[in-house]
Amino acid sequence: MKERNQEWISLATKLNEVKQKIAYLNKERIKLDKKLQELSEYTDSCGGGFEYKEVERPGSINYKDIPALKDLDLSAFRNDSVKFWKLMFKPLFEDII
């Protein structure tokens, strides 16, 4: 793995901070969502131009549980793989002290 310069480290630090803020905001969203469900008495509700309702989508299909497909190679039906970049924070020993 190639060690990068200060500009790279600064940008990685900013990205990590944004990811932490998003995680915090997601926790807050979940809390607010649960509270709104309670206030809605778990029924479709509206007010102030907002509409709040429960939406259900079909569950995914577990193809491994379908006996007729056990011996079939389904790779020809697979969508393209998805690539993404993942930033992980691993503090240096000096950062811990």
| Residue 80 maps to a domain | no
| Residue 43 maps to a domain | yes
Q: Residue 66 carries which side chain, given as an amino acid letter?
A: I
pLDDT at 63: 87
Token digits for 73?
Answer: 């190679």
Q: What is the pLDDT of residues 23-56, one digit of tens each?
A: 999 999 999 999 999 999 999 999 989 999 999 9
List of residues 6+ apart from 63 with CB closer than 8 A:
69, 74
| Residue 7 maps to a domain | yes
| Residue 35 maps to a domain | yes
pLDDT at 64: 85
| Residue 37 maps to a domain | yes
Average pLDDT over every residue of 74-94: 80
| Residue 44 maps to a domain | yes
d(CA 26, CA 70): 39
User: Structural domain tally of the chain?
Assistant: 1
| Residue 66 maps to a domain | no
d(CA 69, CA 72): 5
| Residue 82 maps to a domain | no
Structural domain of residue 14, as residue ranges? Answer: 1-54
